[in-house]
Amino acid sequence: MKFLHLLSSEASQSITFHCLSYQPSSTADSFSSSGHKENTRLRFRGWNKQMFEKDTLLEPHVLQDECKIQDGSWHQSRFLFHTQDSGQLPLVDIEEFPTSQISSQRNVEIGPVCFL
């Protein structure tokens, strides 16, 4: 991994949340979960331990935000992480992931890292 970091000037990675009657976060608005008592902020930890989160320089791009639709069908929310510091990727952890409701299902799809 260190070799890829040294040879690359930037990197990108995507994450997709697949959800059924579940809302991982209000992604386009504040990354905070609704329907829960606590105000949880969805954060992503990079390889070098820096956090990607809303309202920071490392804010992920929201490509699609359908998980807020809770109609009993499968939906997805997609994030793109692009950085000029290749040492920040790959993502290694998702923190403060809200607890799911009993009737919900979710899957997380972690995409490959592209080093440029």
What are the tokens at 88? Answer: 């920040």
2-22+38-106 fold: Jelly Rolls (2.60.120)
Task: Find tokens 């829960």 and name the residue.
Answer: 36
**Sequence-distant contacts of 99-102: CB under 8 A, at least 24 apart:** 99/36, 100/22, 101/21, 101/22, 101/35
pLDDT of residue 83: 96
Q: Give the C-alpha separation, 105 to 18, whole Å.
A: 8
Q: Please identify every stretch of the chain with a pLDDT value under 70, giving residue numbers as ranges.
A: 22-40, 96-102
pTM over 0.85: no
The radius of gyration computed from the CA coordinates of the chain, to the nearest angstrom, equals: 15
Relative to beta strand 105-110, strand 11-20 is antiparallel
